[in-house]
Amino acid sequence: MTSPLVIGLLLGAGVFFVYWSFWPQAPAPESGPRRSGFVVELRDHLNQAGYASITPNNVIVGSVVLFLLTFAIVLALTRVAPISLCFSVMAGAAPISLVRMRARSRRNKLRDLWPDVVDNVTSGVRAGLALPEALAQLSTRGPEELRPAFAAFAEDYRTTGRFHDSLDRLKERLSDPVADRLVESLRIAREVGGSDLGKLLRTLSSFLREDARTRAELETRQSWTVNAARLAVAAPWIVLAMLALNGRSLAAYASPVGWVVLAVGAALCVVAYRAMVWVGRLPEEERVLR
């Protein structure tokens, strides 16, 4: 004979499934590689920084090795695990931070070069060149920083003859929001005929110059905020490193209270730095046309 407990469980399960059926189910994830996430973002930063031959896995492995090496060295010198952990976390984050800084610096530099790229393409189209040829000639006439990417595009197009596939690979090499807009404009122009391509490119060039000039003025005015945030965050850790020269002053950090003090201090530094950077730094463009 069935027990009342089993009957109650079956009834509860039935009521739950009836309730669940009224809610729409999330669609199944699409197949194919994900286009977001830390690894994809790091891949873009490596491309933007000019380190296309380095993979995200190389950077992550290097960060882990640097973390472990720094932890072992500082622990051997200080005999205090909390301090060793703090400095090893900083060392482990250094490779990724350097890649991001290099990518940001190079993006700012290329922002002033993209209008010249658009002007060169416009001149080539007005001279009667086809779009692939107008892009390929940037490998010799374009800005020095961008010539390798367009030389690779020219080689791709000569090898395959597939304009759209070559554009996709060009976007992947550059990994730049401005390059995405230029590439998609050229792709649409080729598909629909491109009778207004010259006007479109002139408008894009004017917009890019105005955007670069505005961002340069704002960044000049707000750079002091970012520099102040870096100095304010670095100062207490520099003092801690100087204290590490005197072993007797580090004994307090080996206690549970020392763990708490360092943890709270590190959390406050991270929150304060992120807040200062959020206030003082202009938001970066996202690759919405990836």
Q: pTM of the prediction? A: 0.69
Same domain, 126 and 55: no
Structural domain that includes position 163: 115-195
Residue 176 lies in a domain: yes
Question: To 10 degrees, the CA torsion angle through 190, 193, 195, 199?
Answer: -30
Identify the DSSP state of 161. -
Cβ atoms of 153 and 208 within 8 Å: the answer is no
Cβ atoms of 284 and 104 within 8 Å: the answer is yes
Residue 242 lies in a domain: no
Residue 275 lies in a domain: no
Residue 208 lies in a domain: no
Same domain, 40 and 92: yes
Identify the DSSP state of 112. T
Same domain, 97 and 144: no
Per-residue pLDDT of the chain (290 residues; tens, 9 = 90+): 455 555 655 666 666 565 555 555 444 344 444 445 888 888 888 888 888 788 888 899 999 999 999 999 888 888 888 888 888 988 998 899 899 888 888 888 888 888 888 888 888 888 878 888 888 888 888 888 888 888 888 898 888 888 888 888 888 888 888 888 888 878 877 776 656 677 777 888 888 888 888 877 777 777 777 777 778 888 888 888 877 766 666 777 777 887 888 888 888 888 888 887 777 666 666 666 66
Same domain, 139 and 92: no
Residue 155 lies in a domain: yes
Question: Domain tally for the chain?
Answer: 2
Element (H, E) at 172: helix 163-174
Contacts of 157 (CB under 8 A, 6+ apart): 132, 136, 163, 166
